[in-house]
């Protein structure tokens, strides 16, 4: 329960400070004046909307705090502790908003968030037994077992549905622009196709080989919802690549020929196509940024930059994961992808309009370290190379055995 509580706090911090436009202030004491001004407001429709949101958003904080508390403590004390924890979190977020425009600190938000946490604490006390039983049942399923494949699936979800530019054109305007000037060059379609094949491999590792095609189909059907997410700009080539990958996963003749090695090869090839587009090289070398994440940290608008970071993390992480499951192991796959990205970034010096930097290879290394920690702590997920058992009967990972062929020793794994 404590991990769920920390995850909720992290999500609230993300939403409270989004879109991360840091503004330097002359004095931190100015937040007190902003708090005082927040008491003078007009109760219009937008204020009512904010009040309702604030009365709901901190309920999980109090709820899961109580579930993590020991039952031998009195109920009133558990509720009080949960309410104070919610109030402390809200106070930190409201104070931090003073430095993150266009967010604005508000005592009204602090009050409603505290009430919300208290309500969640009461619900936690009343339904503690049922909630713990439900979460114990969840841990018996595959979704209750953390894995590197599940982590990468969450990254892909953030890539597809995280908001970007709030001031961009609406869904109707973007659809019209996409249909008026469609971009479906073969290279773009191939990149999307390889990435959706990787998504199918992740789904097979998490939910089982039989469920993977259905999961991929539902993900494809949900893709048009990205049009209503601010900043998301799905292109026609993404739909074509997704449709082709779903067709491959549903066709038994093609699915039987798939293997983690083939998927890893396609993902690595997709990296080459994507990193060297538009394949118009110049004889004049451009600049190379040696400071990692410099272009991201120097961006005036964090929302689109964060969207790019999510996509790169999902693509590089899935490529490392597929290569590791194909037999290279996580360390070997990480070194290969990092070296590949280093060469591609150096080639971008001669590509006008591209930014050559050290960010991508270092990001691949960071993701490799994360995947390695997942495998060591929770056990390597069976991977797309094996037919997975049903989630209801999945057994916990066995203790590591010395010197057996597999992921860590470079042994080959069977096909899908």
HSE of 12 in the Cβ direction (CA atoms, 13 Å)?
Answer: 27
Query: Are 106 and 94 in contact, with CB atoms under 8 Å apart?
Result: yes
294: DSSP letter: H
> Is 412 part of a structural domain of the chain?
no
Share of the chain above pLDDT 90, in %: 20
**pLDDT (tens digit per residue) in 107-152:** 888 899 999 999 998 988 888 777 777 766 655 555 556 788 888 9
Tens digits of residue pLDDT in 40-81: 777 777 778 778 888 888 888 988 888 877 677 788 888 899
Domain that holds residue 150: 146-393
221 lies in the same domain as 343: yes
Flag whether 24 is in a domain: yes
Residue 226 lies in a domain: yes
Query: CB-based contacts of 81: which residues, under 8 Å, 6+ apart?
Result: 65, 69
Assess contact for 303 and 213: CB atoms under 8 A.
no
Strands (E) across 76-219 are located at 100-101
Of 93-102, 135-144, 181-190, 258-267, least confident by mean pLDDT is 135-144
How far apart are the C-alpha atoms of 254 and 11, rounded to whole Å?
Answer: 40
Q: Do 74 and 134 sit in the same domain of this protein?
A: yes
Question: Same domain for 115 and 255?
Answer: no
Per DSSP, the three-state class of 410 is coil
Instruction: Please tell me which residue, 77 or 305, carries the higher pLDDT value.
Output: 77
Give the side-chain half-sphere CA count within 13 A for 210: 4
* Residue for token pair 């979704």: 143
pTM for this prediction = 0.63
Q: Once rounded to an integer, what is the mean pLDDT over residues 362-389? A: 72
The residue among 210, 323, 304, 305 whose CA lies nearest residue 260 is 323
Between residues 371 and 395, which one has the greater pLDDT? 371
Please report whether residue 224 resides in a domain.
yes
Residue 318 lies in a domain: yes
User: Which region among 358-362, 369-373, 376-380 has the lowest average model confidence (pLDDT)?
Assistant: 376-380
Neighbours of 91 (CB within 10 A): 15
Are residues 301 and 210 part of one domain?
A: yes
Three-state SS string across 161-193, please? HCCCCCCCCCHHHHHHHHHHCCCCCHHHHHHHH
Average pLDDT for 358-372:
90
CB 178 within 8 A of CB 165: no
pLDDT band for position 391 (cuts 50, 70, 90): very low
DSSP of 364-389: HHHHHHHHHHHHHHH-----TTSPPP
Kindly state whether residue 410 falls inside one of the protein's structural domains: no
Residues written for the chain: 416
Residues 57 and 88 in one domain: yes
């Amino acid at each position: 329960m404590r991990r769920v509580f920390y995850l909720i706090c992290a999500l609230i911090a993300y939403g409270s400070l989004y879109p991360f436009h840091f503004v330097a202030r002359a004095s931190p004491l100015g937040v007190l004046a902003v708090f005082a001004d927040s008491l003078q407001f007009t109760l219009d429709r937008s204020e009512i909307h904010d009040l309702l949101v604030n009365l709901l958003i901190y309920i999980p904080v109090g709820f899961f705090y109580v579930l993590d508390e020991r039952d031998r403590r009195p109920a009133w004390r558990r509720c009080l502790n949960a309410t104070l924890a919610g109030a402390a979190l809200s106070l930190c977020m409201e104070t931090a908003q003073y430095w993150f425009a266009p967010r604005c600190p508000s005592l009204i938000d602090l009050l409603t968030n505290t009430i919300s946490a208290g309500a969640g604490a009461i619900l936690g006390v009343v339904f503690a037994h049922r909630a713990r039983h439900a979460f114990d049942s969840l841990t018996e399923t595959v979704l209750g077992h953390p894995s590197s494949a599940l982590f990468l699936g969450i990254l892909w979800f953030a890539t597809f549905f995280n908001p970007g530019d709030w001031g961009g054109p609406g869904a109707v305007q973007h659809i019209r622009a996409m249909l008026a000037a469609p971009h479906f060059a073969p290279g773009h379609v191939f990149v999307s196709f390889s990435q959706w094949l990787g998504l199918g491999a992740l789904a097979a590792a998490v939910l089982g080989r039989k469920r993977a095609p259905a999961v991929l189909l539902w993900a494809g059907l949900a893709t048009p919802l990205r049009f209503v997410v601010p900043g998301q700009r799905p292109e026609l080539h993404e739909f074509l690549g997704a449709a082709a990958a779903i067709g491959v996963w549903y066709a038994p003749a093609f699915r039987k020929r798939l293997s983690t090695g083939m998927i890893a090869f396609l993902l690595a090839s997709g990296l080459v196509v994507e990193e060297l587009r538009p394949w118009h090289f110049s004889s004049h070398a451009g600049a190379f940024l040696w400071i990692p994440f410099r272009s991201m940290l120097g961006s005036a608008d964090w929302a689109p930059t964060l969207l790019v970071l999510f996509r790169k993390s999902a693509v590089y992480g899935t490529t490392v994961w597929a290569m590791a499951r194909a037999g290279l192991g996580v360390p070997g796959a990480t070194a290969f992808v990092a070296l590949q990205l280093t060469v591609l970034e150096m080639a971008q010096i001669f590509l006008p309009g591209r930014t050559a930097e050290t960010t991508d290879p270092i990001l691949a290394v960071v993701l490799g370290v994360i995947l390695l920690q997942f495998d060591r702590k929770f056990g390597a997920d069976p991977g797309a190379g094996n037919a997975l058992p049903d989630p209801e009967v999945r057994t916990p990972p066995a203790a590591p055995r010395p010197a057996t062929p597999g992921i860590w020793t470079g042994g080959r794994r069977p096909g899908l």
